[in-house]
Amino acid sequence: MKTFARLLGVGALALATLAWMPPAAAQQENMIDTIKSRGKLQVGFASFVPWAMRDKQGQWVGFEIDVSTKLAKDLGVQLELIPTAWDGIIPSLIAKKFDVIIGGMSITPARQEQIDFTTPYSNSGQGVVASTVLASKLKWPDDYNNANITLSCRRGVSGCKTLEEKFPKANLRQFDDDAIAFQEVINGKAHLVISSEPKPTFMMLKNPDKLFKPTPDTVTVSVEGFGLRKGNAVAMTTFNEWIAKNKDWLKQRHTYWFKTQEWAAQVPE
């Protein structure tokens, strides 16, 4: 359904682009001027823990919210958050429903055909945790490539493919639900589980006696950038400069949201 809807979104977008495409290079919009005269920075994003989520009061919190808030403040304008369904987020950007996507969007070649990305302001990837009972003596990564090792993942995520490629000899068990994939390892029925960070880290912090990290690194890495409509050279420069200037701050906020659970009391669960 999601994929279908996304395809539709892309289809609609393609149609819209065909119909309304002005000569691409001719239309340079100076978005920063627009933002300043409007007095508001409009940011599109979708909810995803811990990028952007609702706290107990129903307010938005998360890494992206911190980033957007500071960006708006530094530009000297107000922030308008525009929560958008992920499937339609790129068409919405192109339809000018907001100025910029700050939504943990990984930079991929397919997306770059439609929109521009700033330099990366964050990185994420797939992480692994292993069962303390079964795997505490195993050496990462060589010992895991063995016929009597059981690996666990959620069906259809890129992590499954990563495990298959990295450990061709091991047994791979695929589950429909992330929670169940982790439960197998917590119950000591599988040695290792892969999932999108920071979930593995959080699960380890929640079950410190059952789970540990065989490697602190992510197994695969992706980087995220702000998404902009094509042909926004001024805004691109402004945002890139902002990202470079706030490198340490971004890193610190990223650590807070992705490596700690200090914020856990704010959100329901």
The residue within the footprint of other proteins, chosen from 27, 39, 96, 156 (CB under 8 A), is: 96
Phi, psi dihedrals of residue 146, rounded to the nearest 5°: -145, 145
β-strand pairing of 122-131 with 211-212: antiparallel
Other CB atoms within 10 A of residue 39 CB: 11
Q: Which of residues 146-185 bind other proteins (CB under 8 A)?
A: 180, 183
Instruction: Pick the closest to residue 168 from 190, 187, 189, 141 (CA basis).
Output: 141
Nearer to other proteins, 49 or 223 (CB): 49
One residue of 31, 41, 53, 75 binding other proteins per CB under 8 A: 53
Classify 156 in phi/psi space as left (phi over 0), alpha (psi -120 to 50) or beta. left
| Cα–Cα distance, 227 to 89 (Å, whole number) | 10
What's the closest the beta carbon of residue 215 comes to other proteins, in angstroms?
26
Question: In sequence order, what E strands does 27-146 have?
Answer: 40-45, 53-54, 60-61, 78-83, 100-101, 116-117, 122-131
Based on the shown chain and the rule CB under 8 A, indicate whether residue 3 belongs to the binding site for other proteins: no
Q: x/- binding map, residues 238-267, to other proteins, per CB under 8 A?
A: -----------------------------x
Nearer to other proteins, 188 or 245 (CB): 188
- C-alpha triplet 95, 42, 231: angle, nearest 5°: 50
Which residue has tokens 């439609």? 114
Q: Of the two residues 96 and 247, which places its CB atom closer to other proteins in the complex?
A: 96
Establish if 9 lies at the interface with other proteins (CB under 8 A).
yes
Question: Per rule CB under 8 A, is residue 122 in the interface with other proteins?
Answer: no
Q: Give the shortest CB-175-to-other proteins separation in angstroms.
A: 11
Identify whether the C-beta of residue 126 lies closer than 8 Å to the C-beta of residue 220: yes
The only residue of 29, 34, 79, 97 in contact with other proteins, by rule CB under 8 A: 97
Token readout for 207 is: 């079950």
Which residue's CB is nearer to other proteins, number 95 or number 157? 95
Q: Of 29, 36, 49, 258, which lies in the binding site for other proteins, with binding defined by CB under 8 A? A: 49
Q: Long-range contacts for 58-64 (Cβ within 8 Å, ≥24 apart)? A: 61/263, 61/266, 61/267, 62/257, 63/104, 63/122, 63/253, 63/254, 63/256, 63/257, 63/258, 64/102, 64/103, 64/104
Options 42, 91, 129, 196; binder of other proteins; rule CB under 8 A = 91
Q: With respect to other proteins, which residue has the nearer C-beta, 9 or 159?
A: 9
Q: Judged by CB under 8 A, does residue 84 bind other proteins?
A: yes
Our finding on whether 85 is near other proteins (CB under 8 A) is: yes
Using CB under 8 A as the binding rule, whether residue 54 contacts other proteins is answered as yes
Cα(225)–Cα(118) distance, rounded to whole angstroms? 5
Q: Which residues bind to other proteins, rule: CB under 8 A? A: 4-5, 8-9, 11-13, 15-16, 19-20, 47-49, 53-58, 82-85, 87-88, 91-92, 94-97, 180, 183, 267-269
